[in-house]
Every structure is written in C-alpha cells, then in structure tokens.
Amino acid sequence: MIDSLLLQVTIIGLLGVGSQWIAWRFRLPAIVVMSIVGLMAGPLFGLMNPEESFGDLYSPTISLAVAVILFEGSLNLDFKEVKGLGKPVFRIVTLGAFIAWILGSLAAHYIAGLSVAVAFVIGGLFIVTGPTVILPLLRQAKLKPRPAKILKWEGIIVDPLGALLAVFTFEIIVFLMGDPVDPSALITFFLAALFAVVIGYGLGKGVGYMFENGYVPEFLKSPFVFAAVIVCFTAADEVTHETGLLSVTAMGMTLANMRISSIDDMRHFKENMSLLLISAIFVMLTASLTRETLIEIFQPGIIAFVLIMLFVVRPLSIFLSTIGTDLRKSEKLLVGWIAPRGIVALTVASYFAAVLSEEGFEDANILVSLTFALVFTTVVAHGFSMGWLSKKLNLSQEGPPGVLIVGGNLFTTKLASTLKSLDVPVIIVDSSWRKLTKARSEGLKTFHGEVLSEQTEYSLDMTPYEYLVAATELDSYNALVCTTFVPEFGRNNAFQLNLSDERGDNLEGLDHTIGGRILFRKDITWEPLNEMVENGYVLRKTTITQKYTYQNYIDNLDDQAIRLFVKKKATGMIYFFTEHSELAPESGDIVVSLTPPSKEFEKIQEKLETKRKNKQ
C-alpha cells in the first residue's frame, strides 16, 4: 500500500481524469470506468485506502465535493426549462418518490433481510438517481429533449430529498424508540430543514444582488461563489446532518432563475470543477471499499434485492405516478428503466451504517455492501443500455453528427443543401426572415431567431448538431457566437468564416481563444464565397477511391476551387478544411469543394459523352 498521502492524492486525480478520457475515447459510461479503476486501486490490488489515509478529513472532503456537484447541477434548474413538463416531473419527484420509498423499503426488509427500521431508512435514500451519474449519461446517449429534461430534473431535485428522507426516517425511528418519547427532536429536524432552504435562498439572492450591482469584480466571481457554496452547505449541515444538500440546491436554483449573465459564464467553470470532483470522489469511494464488502455483495439476498429494485420498484413507481399525464408509453418505459444511483447514495449510506450501528441495529453493517451493489449494478446496466434502449424506443437523436449554421445567405444555403444530400442533419439559424427565404424555398430546415437569445436555448433543440459554423457577414458577431458556444460544441467543432479587412472590423489581433477555427483559406471571406455562388460556382462532391486517390483529386482540382469539407465513410463525421489544418481523405471518403462552373460543365460533358459511347 502507498504510504505517501500526496502520492495517493496525485494518483486519485490521474485515475479519475484518465477514466474520463478512456470513457470518452471508447464511448463507455464514465462512472463504470471510474468504479472499476477504483476497485482495482483499492480492494483488488491494495494500492490505497483513501478512507484510512485521509482519516478525519475523508468524510468532510466527500461531503463538500458532493455539495459543489449538487450546486452545479442545480444551476441548470431554470424554471423556464420545465414548461410543458410540470405535471410529469412534479408527479415523479413527489408521488413517484413516495412509491419508490415504500416499495424499496419493503424489498429491503423482506428480500434483503433488514429490520423494518433500517429498511425504511435505506429505502428513503435509494429513491435518489443523482446528477453525478444521470448528467454524464444524458450527454452520451443524446436523448430527445423531453425524456432528457425529465431525467435531469428528477435527478437533481430528488438527490437532496432522498438524503433528507433518510434523515427524516431516522429521526422518526429515534423519536419512536425514545424513552420517554420526545417530540421536540422531530420538530427540530423540520425547523432545520426549513432553515436550510432559507439560508440557501438568502445566500443565492445575496450573491445575485452583489453580482448585479457590481460589488464583486469579474476575476473574483467564481471563487466568491465557490466560497459561498461551502458556507451555505456547512451552515446548514452543522445544524442538522445532510440538510446542507438541500441548502446548496436551494441556492443553485435561486441563482439559476435570477437571469444573471455572469452566472452563465461561471456555469462552465462549475461544470469543469464538478467533472474533476466526480472523477476524484468516485475513485476515492470505490478504492475505500474492503474485500469483505465486495464478497458480501454476492449474497443471494442482496442480489435479489438489486434485481427487484431494477425490474419492479423503479418501473412501478414511474408508471403509477405518471397515470393521467401526457407521457407516452415509450417515455414511461425509458424513464422507468433509467435510475442509476451515484455518489450521494454511497456517502450517505456510509454515514447511516455508522449511526444505525451505534443505535444498536446490527444489520446496518451490510448497508455499504448493499448500496455499492445497487450503485455498481445500476450504473453498469443503465450506462450500457441507455443508448440502445433510447434508439429502440425512438427517443434518441439518431443519425450522423449534424451541422448548425448561423447566418442565412447564398453560400450557407448551398452548403446546407449539400450536407442534406449527404444525409447530414443541418439547420440554418438567422434572426431575419428575409435571409432565410432562399433556404426555406429549397426545403431546408431553418430556425428564425437570435441564436444568442435565452429564448432560443429553450426553443431550439441543439442535440443533433455537433458542429457550429458561424457564417454571417459580421466577423465580430461570428466570433461572439463561436466564443459563446465553444463550451457546448468544443473548440475543435466551432468554426467561423475568415476575417475581412474590408468592413472595418479589424479583428486580426484577437486572442486565439476568442472566436472559432477559421474555415477554408486565408483569402476566403464572406464576400468572395457569396459572389462565387452568385456567379454560378457549384458545390461538387467527389468520392475518393483506390484508383482515384486524393492526390489525383488535388492534381485535377481547379486553381479557383475551394475545398470545403470531407465526410468520412467509416464514421459519417464531417471534417472542415481550415486555415491551419490539412486533411488526408481515404478511400470511400467524400470531398466537397466549391468549384467554378466551367469545371462542372466539363464534368457534365464527360458524363454525357460516356453515356453516348455506352449506347453505341
């Protein structure tokens, strides 16, 4: 076992981020990879045991990390987003959660063999699905907006409620077992929960007010919010354990609905922090398990309990709670299957295993094994099946990666038409109906609205599109659009037309982190592209073969032609030619170029001549 605490911390960070990279590279559920890596580093090979090494710092570290993760998730809970989903979401997080609690508790008692008191405590905890697991899965599965939003809202709202329900049940048990019975403990708990909501709301409003009135400089905003989250969690949690989760959720939701622009800017920082914390904490939790805990997982009662939770409790709670809503059967099936448990379940279960044992409940010692069995099974089963099931139920955004084009004009219309002919999803977005006229007349998918508007975020589904092309006549606007959407599309997938010196924008001095990647050649800007199309230039598709190689294509290419993009045969991915990159298409790939009409005319003549000879 590694003795150096510093080295253990370093290895945890490397394993966590490395797991995320492996998951991205091979399209695997990240939580599954992190769990396996943590088990290998901990109980299997005995390299580390973070719980022993960190000592008294272990639990506070985990708790604070979960608070930040939950706060980041709640920053996405804008009430505008839940329009049209109100009834299903409300039913699932109230009636559905209650049904899941009762059924899960009965299963824990009759199947896993826990006492009634312990079963109802852990049953309350197991209603959580958790944003730490759900949000990464949603990004990978590319669900349609409706089921994705339902699962996201359920995960973030129920996460603190599950922990509170477990605490509430525990307080009830202590209250009933008291001699004499002391109702003041129960009243204290409810007051503490109310205090947690109030302090979260108050801190959220306070931070928002300071930001809106310029009392916090830009460079201090992210650290300021980070410190406020820790204060919010600690203040509530010190009053009553686990109410801190409710407090940070209330703070995040308050800020999310105050429409503060700087909160949107910080959201990306919080997402990065959350990703790093999820990676590190999950490795720490799994590495801290013992071999005895892993062996206990294979007890028949625990296995049967996990299966009942997967195939009976979750589907029943969703189907019963959504009766009378407008959810389709396919949506109910998907939501009724997807319920992976995550970090909150593991951390809180560890806490209750200790406190219930102290209260004399000997069966509480299997809670960690039971919880890990449920967590690992659900993240594996749901992580690997979510994409497949969503496709089977027609609830995923299928097809090759699409292209979102900002700016309606002659060139973008031709570009979109060519992409559509190659079965690539494409949409043109513009705030001017006039600029969309040509695209609409050719039957292309368009969206009328300002792409930077908050309203567009809720009206335009961007899930099918992995590439952004900003192609308006304004260079500064193109740069702004790309900079805004880089966190969503990635810097490698955000493109803009080359900067023009003729319109007075003079953006050559921009930092390389501002704007998108420059398309095509250095001399090709908005004006020449549209002039070429107006003068009869056409977008020509050429398939590279073993006989007609890419070098042959280059040799035959007209000097005036502009190479635009390559569509890969193997993956369907699109690769745009840019100012600083050179592509190497292979056999089967399709190269698209903007070609002079004379060249295209020669190709047509050659085809006609070939047909004439074949007829003779």
- Lowest pLDDT segment from 209-213, 239-243, 403-407, 583-587: 239-243
Confidence band, pLDDT 50/70/90 cuts, at residue 398: low
Each residue's pLDDT tens digit, 415-452:
899 888 888 888 999 888 888 888 888 888 888 888 87
pLDDT tens, residue by residue, 203-239: 999 988 888 888 888 778 878 888 898 999 899 888 8
506 against 410, higher pLDDT: 410
Residue bearing tokens 């943590």: 38
SS3 480: helix
The DSSP bridge partners found for residue 428 are: 405, 446
Q: Which of 252, 304, 298, 278 is nearest to 379 (CA)?
A: 278
Mean pLDDT score, 26-40: 79
Structural tokens at position 104: 């899960």
Asked if pLDDT for residue 548 goes beyond 60, the answer is yes
Residue 184 neighbours by CB under 8 Å, 6+ apart: none
Domains by residue range for the chain, with CATH: 5-392 (1.20.1530.20), 402-615 (3.40.50.720)
CA–CA separation, 615 and 542 (whole Å)? 25
Q: What is the DSSP string of 194-228?
A: HHHHHHHHHHHHHHHHHHHTT-S-HHHHHHHHHHH
Q: Are strands 426-430 and 446-448 parallel, antiparallel or unpaired?
A: parallel
pTM (2 d.p.): 0.65
When the pLDDT of each residue in the chain is averaged and rounded to a whole number, the result is 80
Percent of the chain topping pLDDT 90 = 8
pLDDT greater at residue 345 or residue 108:
108
Among 125-129, 201-205, 277-281, 295-299, which range has the highest average pLDDT? 201-205
The dihedral formed by the CA atoms of 35, 384, 90 and 331, expressed in degrees to the nearest 10: 180
Give dist(CA 239, CA 427) in Å, integer: 52
pLDDT at residue number 99: 93
DSSP notation for 509-542: T--TTSS-EEBS-TT--HHHHHHHHHTT-EEEEE
Confidence grade of residue 105 (pLDDT, cut at 50, 70, 90): very high
Sign of CA dihedral 451, 452, 458, 464: positive
Burial of 113 (0-12, 13-18, 19+ CB in 10 A): middle
Q: With a cut of 80, say whether residue 502 has pLDDT above it.
A: no
pLDDT in tens, 342-390: 766 776 777 778 778 877 788 888 888 888 888 888 888 887 888 788 8
Q: Can you tell me the mean pLDDT for 412-416?
A: 89
Confidence at residue 305, expressed as pLDDT on a 0 to 100 scale: 93
